[in-house]
Amino acid sequence: MALKSISKPLLYLILIALSLFFLMPVYVMVVTSLKPLDQVTLSDMWKLPSVLDFSSYATAFTKLTPNLLNSFYLVIPATLLSALLGSLNGYVLSKWKFKGSNTIFTLILFGMFIPYQSILIPMIQFLREIGLYNTIPGLVFVHVVYGIPITTLMFRNFYANIPDEMLESAKIDGAGFLRVFRYIMLPLSITGFVVVAIWQFTNIWNEFLFAVTITTSDQQPIMVALQNLSGSQIVQWNVQMAGALLAALPTLIVYIFLGKYFVKGLLAGSVKG
């Protein structure tokens, strides 16, 4: 007990110090983005801006808007399609198991751990062949395909918690595969869809390797454009930080409002669930 009362203040001290470390990049990012370029000097990095200057946001916004739009055109269909596929797969693999279905599930799961470098060269050849190279639909296709393992895993674990008895009674009433899915599973899957959609939205929005190799210039999603901002000769750090904040905003907003589901997805994605 005595130990506890001494250590509590120490505990708070450690937690607050670590919180400051975690928030430090955000502070510097916000402060830098609100300074005019001539105030963005190395020695003034930690100082608050003397005047609020939003011009770097204006610059970043004009430069990045087309790419932000590209990202939305990419993320929305890719998230919806992969969630739909995942729910069907999860339904089959949890409630309509067949011989070898567990092996197939494991073989599907392997697909979420591979380094995508190991499929990238054939994928680009393939996309060129079917005319989807350097297009947003091409990226949508890629994210739907490589989203199958994680979405299937999440829905399978989610559906495994729905008792089989509920399905049995519906089957006795004559409901088949599709009716059970439509009238029993889907209404119970809203949380599942929210978790999977948030997970896919965040991951696809943040993804870089496919984006930088499959698209060029005006087709590029936001993360590639953000990276390209620093490619110029003089790095305008204030614009760079404003751009980083803009690029991070959609996923941050989702996290702030639906963080609980984000963490659920994270835990569901660690296989054992």
136 vs 222, beta carbon nearer other proteins: 222
63 vs 171, beta carbon nearer other proteins: 171
Minimum CB–partner distance for residue 208 and other proteins (Å): 4
Q: Which amino acid is at 239?
A: V
How far from chain centre, in Å, is Cα 85? Answer: 17
33 vs 193, beta carbon nearer other proteins: 33
Minimum CB–partner distance for residue 271 and other proteins (Å): 5
93 vs 136, beta carbon nearer other proteins: 93
54 vs 96, beta carbon nearer other proteins: 96
Residue 245 CA to residue 25 CA, distance in Å, equals 11
Minimum CB–partner distance for residue 100 and other proteins (Å): 11
Minimum CB–partner distance for residue 51 and other proteins (Å): 21
131: alpha, beta or left? (left if phi > 0; alpha if psi -120 to 50): left
Assess contact for 149 and 105: CB atoms under 8 A: no
Helix ranges, the chain (H): 2-33, 55-95, 101-110, 117-129, 136-160, 164-172, 177-180, 186-188, 190-206, 209-214, 222-229, 237-268
Which of 203, 99, 76 minimizes the C-alpha distance to 151? 203
Say how many C-beta atoms besides its own lie within 10 A of residue 214's C-beta.
24
Minimum CB–partner distance for residue 92 and other proteins (Å): 4
